Structure 1
Amino acid sequence: MSRTYVVTGAASGIGKATAERLEADGHRVIGVDIKDADVVADLSTGEGRTALVHEVEQRSGGRVDGVIAVAGLVAASPVTVGVNYFGATATLEGLRPLLAGSDAPRAVVVASLAALEEVDEGLYERLLADDEPGARQEAERIGTATNAAGSSAIYSTTKKAIAQWVRTHAKDPEWAGAGIALNAIAPGVIETPMTAAALESAEGRAALDAGAPSPLNGPAAPPAAPAALLAWLASAENTHVTGQIVFIDGGAESIRRPERI
Structure 2
Amino acid sequence: MARTYVVTGSASGIGRATADLLRSQGHTVIGIDLHDADLTVDLTSPADRALMVDMVAERSGGGIDAIIAVAGLASPTPATVAVNYFGMVATLTGLRPLLLDSQDPRAVGVSSMASLFPGDQALIDAMLDGEEDAALASAGELAADPQLGQLIYGSTKAAFCRWIRRHAATPEWAGESIPLNAVAPGVILTPMVEPLLETEEGRAQIAQAVPMPLGGFAEPIVVARLLAWLASEDNTHLCGQVVFVDGGSDVVIRGDSVW
Would you call these one fold, judging by a TM-score over 0.5?
A: yes
Q: Specify the alignment match of 1:48 in structure 2.
A: 48
Q: Specify the alignment match of 2:150 in structure 1.
A: 152
The aligned amino acid for 2:166 is: T
> Is the partner of 1:31 in helix, strand or coil?
strand
Q: Specify the alignment match of 2:30 in structure 1.
A: 30
Q: Specify the alignment match of 1:207 in structure 2.
A: 205
Q: Specify the alignment match of 2:98 in structure 1.
A: 98
Q: Specify the alignment match of 1:243 in structure 2.
A: 240
Summarize the Cα distance change of 1:134–1:239 in structure 2 as closer, same or farther, 3 Å threshold.
same
Q: Which consecutive unaligned segments of at least 5 residues does structure 2 have?
A: none
Deviation at 1:50, TM superposition (A): 1.0
Return the match for 2:249 from 248, 252, 260.
252
**Which piece of structure 1 moves more, 153-162 or 194-203?**
194-203
Deviation at 1:203, TM superposition (A): 3.2
Q: Specify the alignment match of 2:77 in structure 1.
A: 77
Q: Percent identity?
A: 51
Q: Which consecutive unaligned segments of at least 5 residues does structure 1 have?
A: none
Q: Specify the alignment match of 1:7 in structure 2.
A: 7
Q: Specify the alignment match of 1:20 in structure 2.
A: 20
* Separation in 2, partners of 1:146, 1:117: 16
Summarize the Cα distance change of 1:144–1:216 in structure 2 as closer, same or farther, 3 Å threshold.
farther
The aligned amino acid for 1:128 is: L
Structure 1 residue 217 corresponds to structure 2 residue 193: no
* Separation in 1, partners of 2:100, 2:153: 32
Structure 1 residue 174 corresponds to structure 2 residue 162: no
Output the aligned Cα RMSD. Answer: 1.2
Deviation at 1:81, TM superposition (A): 0.6
Contact conserved, 1:189 with 1:221, CA < 8 A, in 2?
yes
Deviation at 1:211, TM superposition (A): 2.0
TM-score (norm 2): 0.97
**Which piece of structure 1 moves more, 241-250 or 203-212?**
203-212
* Separation in 2, partners of 1:217, 1:5: 29
Deviation at 1:209, TM superposition (A): 1.1
* Separation in 1, partners of 2:10, 2:99: 19
Q: Specify the alignment match of 1:129 in structure 2.
A: 129
Deviation at 1:146, TM superposition (A): 5.5
Matched residue count: 257
The aligned amino acid for 1:87 is: G
Q: Specify the alignment match of 1:162 in structure 2.
A: 160
Contact conserved, 1:76 with 1:145, CA < 8 A, in 2?
no
* Separation in 2, partners of 1:247, 1:208: 17
Deviation at 1:145, TM superposition (A): 5.2
Contact conserved, 1:76 with 1:144, CA < 8 A, in 2?
no
Contact conserved, 1:74 with 1:152, CA < 8 A, in 2?
no
Deviation at 1:247, TM superposition (A): 0.1
Q: Which digits, 9 at most, give the CA deviation of each residue in 1:88-122, with x for residues without a partner? A: 00000000000001000000000000000000111
* Separation in 2, partners of 1:144, 1:18: 35
